[in-house]
Structure formats: structure tokens, C-alpha cells
Amino acid sequence: MSFRKKYLLKFLNYWPPFLGAGIQIETMSKDYKEIEVSLKMRFWNRNYVNTHYGGSLYSMTDPFYMLMLIQLMGPEYIIWDKAATIKFKKPGIGKVRALFQISDDQIKSFKKALDSTNKIEPILIVLVKDESQNIIAEVEKTLYIKKKH
């Protein structure tokens, strides 16, 4: 594991918003194309009806696509999170997980699109699942990608 990647993992796992919510980065592939994040049910991240607090579920999905694309596309691109929506499908109880994946084809299509336009705003989806693989939330992340001039 490279120093930069090791530092990024440590930083994210001890970053106060993640640490406070109980969010844990479980795995990060060597090529940054896959990251798995988990959230255990704790007394401090439950809501009034004893299910996962929606803010914690969203927080566990917040920065990852942006961070992955920054690594995958390189320093000649500006990449930001622009918008997000979360659709709650079922109450979250116990440990929940989100798996972020970006393919080579997606990266190629983003770069190709930027050859003919100033910016793109792709939408990437991540599913939050419980221990039985039931989908408890669907998060759509709109990213802003632009080539640096």
C-alpha cells in the first residue's frame, strides 16, 4: 500500500465526521476503483425510531466518488461533488455497507466527453445495503468535472 493511500485511509477513518458517526472505510482497492464503507448501529447514530439516522447514511456516501475520480482521472481535471439525493427504501438496522465502483469505461467516457465540451455533470449511484443485502437507501451523486486549462 502506498504511503499516500495509507494516509488517505487513516485520515478518512479518523476524520471527525466519520469517526463521530461510526463510519469505517473497510477496503480500498489499490487502483482506487473500488471502496467499501460500513456503518454499525450505535446509540449515537440511531434516530427516534431506533433505525440508522439518515444523516449518517448520507455521510457514509458523501465524498467517495469525488475522491476516487480525483485519483483516477489525474491532476489535469477539476472534480467536485455538485449535488446529491438520497432515497430511503427501508429502515436500516444493524451494520450497513456501501460499495463504490468506477470502471475504466466510465473514466474513458468522462474524458472523451470533455474533449468536446467544457464540463460534464455525471450522475453516479451507490446503494446502501444491510447485512441481508437488502437495499435500504439509494444515493445519486452528481459530480462536476472540468478539464483544467
* Number of domains within the chain: 1
Cα–Cα distance for residue pair 143/125, rounded to 1 Å: 11
pLDDT score, position 77 = 96
Q: What is the amino acid identity at position 73? A: M
**pLDDT mean over 117-128:** 97
Residue 124 has pLDDT above 90, yes or no: yes
pLDDT score, position 141 = 97
* H-type alpha helices, 36-97: 54-59, 64-73
Cα–Cα distance for residue pair 46/28, rounded to 1 Å: 27
**pLDDT mean over 39-64:** 88
Closest Cα to residue 51, out of 134, 143, 126, 141? Answer: 134
Q: Which residue range forms the structural domain that includes residue 7?
A: 3-147
Cα–Cα distance for residue pair 13/17, rounded to 1 Å: 9
Residue 149 has pLDDT above 70, yes or no: yes
**pLDDT mean over 125-129:** 98
For the stretch 3-49, pLDDT in tens is 565 666 677 777 877 878 889 999 889 899 999 999 998 887 888 89
pTM of the model: 0.89
pLDDT score, position 51 = 87
pLDDT score, position 6 = 61
pLDDT score, position 65 = 97
CATH classification of the domain holding 82? 3.10.129.10
